[in-house]
Amino acid sequence: MDVTYILAQLFNGLMLGSFFVLLSLGLSVIFGMMGVINFAHGAFYTLGAYAAYTLCYVLDLGFGWALLIGPLSVGVIGMILERTLIRKLYNVPHVYNLLLTFGLMIVLVEFVRLIFTSVGKPFETPGFFRGSVDLGFIMFPKYRIFIILISSLCATVVAILMSKTRLGAIIRAGTDDSEMVSALGINIPRVFTLVFGLGAALAGLAGVLAAPVQNIVPDMGSEILVLTFVVLIIGGMGSIIGAILGGFIVGELITLGVVFWPPIAYTLLFFFLAVILLARPRGFFGRAKFFE
């Protein structure tokens, strides 16, 4: 098999992993801070893609506006849902939040289907990103390089936000003991809303970026959500670094599996997951707090 072809597929794996990184970052900050297993995350990804379609093809705005407005609008939807519904179930067993977010996913997807129908929506590659770039050893599409760069930038910003800022310190402290942080005069419910909105916005950004590389359909978030939970388990629930590492690992495993033996692409992924669970049940960077 040609070396250039293998290198191209490795870069494709990085692109696929970029979507998993953005999605798992959102899930990780939500679970790490709030303990909510958010099944509605896949619907936020779908909403991001349809927001991009609406902005670019219905309102005739540029893709740059879609990159800005799409994630923000999904983040606002996430904050509204957190304040009106999810907040009411923090003091009950996690299974109730799980059922609520699963129901929200169904409602949001059916809402999208009601407005846009079940027919897929085509989305062309934005004009500025058409064509390829010579990397010296392969020619690779500009837009796919852009996806890798923007997701890497977002991952870096989130990691710095969580580790180097006051807000990040509050979030990390709230993860360990939200009652103590609240006793110090910090409005924890407001922080919860912000964190949930951030997670939803990251999923929305992933949906916007995915629109030009896949057919936009109402159920597009369902399959990728399952794989995103695999990323979280491999990287470690609640870990930012784990979400980033796990995202790229899963992207490469799926891509290389498709290249070398397509029938076992997903089997290889779940075999790797089983090995990780047997060797380190918390994942690479999982914390004991989440498994007690």
Using alpha carbons only, what angle is made at residue 147 by residues 136 and 158, rounded to the nearest 5 degrees?
A: 120
Q: Determine the residue type at 72.
A: L
- Tens-place pLDDT, residues 15-26: 989 999 999 988
Mean pLDDT of 137-144: 84
Each residue of 141-172: pLDDT tens digit?
Answer: 899 999 999 999 998 998 888 888 887 787 77
- 69 pLDDT band, cuts 50/70/90, is very high
Q: What is the pTM of this model?
A: 0.91
CA distance 284 to 278: 12
Give pLDDT, residue 181: 72
Q: Is the pLDDT score of 3 beyond 80? A: no
Q: Residue 211 — very low, low, confident or very high, per pLDDT cuts 50/70/90?
A: very high
pLDDT-based confidence at residue 287 (cuts at 50, 70, 90)? low
Domain ranges (residues) in the chain: 3-291
Average pLDDT of 263-291? 78
Cβ-proximal residues to 100 (8 Å cutoff; 6+ apart), any chain: 85, 86, 89
The reported pLDDT for the residue numbered 291 is 41
pLDDT digits (tens, 9 = 90+) for 82-123: 999 988 887 788 788 889 999 999 999 999 999 999 898 989
Report DSSP letters for the chain, one per residue: --HHHHHHHHHHHHHHHHHHHHHHHHHHHHHHHH----TTHHHHHHHHHHHHHIIIIIS---HHHHHHHHHHHHHHHHHHHHHHTGGGGTTS-HHHHHHHHHHHHHHHHHHHHHHH-SS-B--PPPGGG-SEEE-SS-EEEHHHHHHHHHHHHHHHHHHHHHHHSHHHHHHHHHHHHHHHHHHTT--HHHHHHHHHHHHHHHHHHHHHHHGGGS-B-TTHHHHHHHHHHHHHHHH-TT-HHHHHHHHHHHHHHHHHHHHH-GGGHHHHHHHHHHHHHHH-TT-SS--GGGG-
Mean pLDDT of 188-210: 91
Average pLDDT over residues 270-289: 81
What's the mean pLDDT when you consider all of the chain? 86
Indicate whether 290 pLDDT > 50. Answer: no
pLDDT of residue 177: 67
Residue 174 pLDDT > 50, yes or no? yes
pLDDT of res. 292: 44
Q: What is the mean pLDDT of residues 248-268?
A: 84
What does the block give as tokens for 143? 């837009």
pLDDT of residue 101: 92
Instruction: Report the alpha-carbon distance of residue 37 to residue 104 in Å, rounded.
Output: 12
**Residues of the chain above pLDDT 90, percent:** 34
Q: What fold, for 3-291?
A: ABC transporter involved in vitamin B12 uptake, BtuC (1.10.3470)
pLDDT > 90? residue 207: yes
